[in-house]
Amino acid sequence: MPKEVNLTGDQVVALTRKYLAAEDVAFVQKALVYAVDCHSGQFRKSGEPYIVHPLKATLFLMELKPDLASIQSCIMHDIIEDTEITREQIIQEFGQEVGEICEGLTKVSKVRYQWEDRHLETIKKTFLAMAKDLRVIFVKLADRIHNIQTLQFHPEERKRKKIAEETIKIYAPLAKRLWLYHFQLLLENGSFAVLHPEDFQSIVAQLKKYFWEGEKHTEKGVKMLTAMLYKEWMKNFSVKGRLKSPYRVYEKLSKKYQDTDITTVMDLLAFRVITQSVGDCYSVLWVVHKYYIPIIKKIKDYIAIPKFNGYKSIHTTVLGMFRFPVEIQIRTQEMENVAEYW
């Protein structure tokens, strides 16, 4: 087998060993051998052996610590569609559960975006209805992530753009609906790079210029806010930080600011404080404004006046944490659950 196939397969097996029983790892290895044999002689448009694709998709799926059936199904997810192997043969080798997931993946692959946005919600519902087992959707999302990341090898520009458009309008929202935030970001940014390559490169370059140590900024900010809140006797809270993704920056620049300069976006770096009660939310706001200078026009109280979709949170943008403005969102865990779902 080619070196890349062995390396990727070994990575999958190593990850399964971290939480699956030894006998289950053996069944993962069985699926690997079976898939390699089934896809023998098949190659992707990139020129690499086809089996590399399902293995790479499985590596993305492993972020969710999936069960044995999900791992086996992801490794074999293209076998029914791209080889002469049938559902019944997979059931005979790996059991009913795996056979049904693989068949479900073949069915949902036939759901296509036809460039009509008014039908998007219907398509999403159809997609979910066809996949009676949510594991089908998890595998399909992992599959699409790798496809979008290798889309540059597709020879037809029109097809590349159609796949990217389909991904950003169907698959990314599905990932969001299932609370798979990292999957959502990968799908959005991968599609953005295909649909608007010049804008993508420009925004990435600007983010590197201003936030070349992005992770260090978020880690430092989380520590600063945590220490500050403890100093003021706040309890039972958590703090998260994030640097806005290229696609989200593009969305805000194009829809809100009609500009290309990312410095006009005030929430490039943002932190979220999750509290236990509404009263704690306002206490945190008071503490934040005690230590940092708020930009008055950027204080939004969506707890007092929720958004039309039920979203509740307090947003404030402050100066003094770093050399650029920082947004801080404050909400309860219940509000967080609603915000993440919608």
Locate 182 and state its tokens: 């990292």
Sign of CA dihedral 222, 225, 231, 233: negative
Examine the residue annotation and report whether 81 is marked as an active-site residue of this protein.
yes
Contacts 24+ apart (CB under 8 A), 336-339: 336/272, 336/274, 338/310, 338/311, 338/312, 339/311, 339/312, 339/313
Locate 110 and state its tokens: 């036939």
Inter-residue contact 75 to 31 (CB < 8 Å): yes
Inter-residue contact 314 to 294 (CB < 8 Å): no
Listed residue (196, 165, 203, 171) closest to 186, CA to CA = 171
Examine the residue annotation and report whether 188 is marked as an active-site residue of this protein.
no
Inter-residue contact 269 to 217 (CB < 8 Å): yes
Among residues 81, 93, 232, 301, the one annotated as catalytic is 81
Among residues 4, 48, 67, 82, the one annotated as catalytic is 82
The set of catalytic residues is 81-82
